[in-house]
Amino acid sequence: MKPLVISLFEEHPALPVILKEQGYALGEVMLRTFPDGETYLRFQSELKHRAVILVASLDSPNSKILPLILAAETARAFGASQVGLCAPYLAYMRQDKQFKSGESITSLYFAKLISKYFDWLVTVDPHLHRYHKLDEVYSISSCTVHATQKIAQWIKGNVKKPLLIGPDSESKQWVEQVSKVLNVPYLTLKKKRYAGDEVEVSSVPEMERYPNHTPVLLDDIISTAQTMIMVVQHLKKVQSEPIVCVGIHAVFSNGAYEALLQAGAALVVTTNTIKHMSNQIDVSSQLGEGMHRQIKQTQ
């Protein structure tokens, strides 16, 4: 029987391509909140002996995690042969160290929770900083697919003479990859984070070495956008080319997208891991291929 793909919350934008390219079936679920805030969940497709894949991007994760676990357990109770999670954006990867005494390393406990309820996981470019692989925290089989080829393709088709700029040391993994594919220069800056919405990024050095280049800021997550806003502000002081911002995951908390445009970004572009008006880079095929690998491996 065909694997059954179920979008748990709003329909994920990658779904149509995944269903078409992989030939999977679309499953139906009814998910409601009772007046007291509890979840009602009912699958409206036959799950017995089928691989069931729950698709949910985990931005705003706290309200999603309980319905997600209830859905995974229910799918198992109705006889799913395997229950996989496709989380195009995987939350809780950033707190990967205890910085202050008493602090929770939430990435560890979140990974433990997901690993308990799912057989496998597929995601796009998780925030790997102090961890090198998801296997260091997830005990289930995980598959990371990458957006870099699609980002490089987009930049090639849309930006003249790009100079890639990574706003912090973690972003080097993405800017370096994209710069190799496109054979264009890149720089990485240094960042200090003081609070969730308070960062300091070093100014951009030696811009005069790259006359007429279009600065392309590239990072994995844009959340408050403060990281990118700081770089845009530095750049605007020293050059006049339009500034392009590319993010993999369009988290955009509290008006961050508008604030980034307001700060002077000429264009803000993201992949479709999280549905947003800035989505211009489609990673659906990569997700579908990742799912296919995981289903086969688990059979």
Query: Min. distance of Cβ 267 from ligand R5P in angstroms?
Result: 17
Query: Which lies closer to ligand R5P via its Cβ, residue 71 or residue 145?
Result: 145
Query: Which lies closer to ligand R5P via its Cβ, residue 75 or residue 201?
Result: 201
List of long-range contacts for 125-130, beta carbons under 8 Å, 24+ apart: 125/174, 125/220, 125/248, 125/249, 126/90, 126/93, 127/90, 127/93, 127/94, 127/170, 127/220, 127/221, 128/93, 128/173, 129/93, 129/94, 129/96, 129/170, 130/96, 130/97
Query: Min. distance of Cβ 223 from ligand R5P in angstroms?
Result: 3
Beta carbons within 8 Å of 55's beta carbon, 6+ residues apart: 5, 6, 7, 8, 12, 14, 15, 86, 87, 88
Query: Min. distance of Cβ 33 from ligand R5P in angstroms?
Result: 29
Query: Min. distance of Cβ 193 from ligand R5P in angstroms?
Result: 7
Query: Min. distance of Cβ 243 from ligand R5P in angstroms?
Result: 15
Query: Which lies closer to ligand R5P via its Cβ, residue 127 or residue 213?
Result: 127
Label residue 192 exposed, middle or buried (CB < 10 Å: 0-12, 13-18, 19+). exposed
Query: Which lies closer to ligand R5P via its Cβ, residue 193 or residue 275?
Result: 193
Query: Which lies closer to ligand R5P via its Cβ, residue 216 or residue 295?
Result: 216
Query: Which lies closer to ligand R5P via its Cβ, residue 59 or residue 168?
Result: 168
Query: Min. distance of Cβ 226 from ligand R5P in angstroms?
Result: 4
Query: Min. distance of Cβ 115 from ligand R5P in angstroms?
Result: 23
Query: Which lies closer to ligand R5P via its Cβ, residue 84 or residue 126?
Result: 126
The residues of the shown chain that bind ligand R5P, judged by CB under 6 A, are 94, 127, 168, 170-171, 199, 219-227
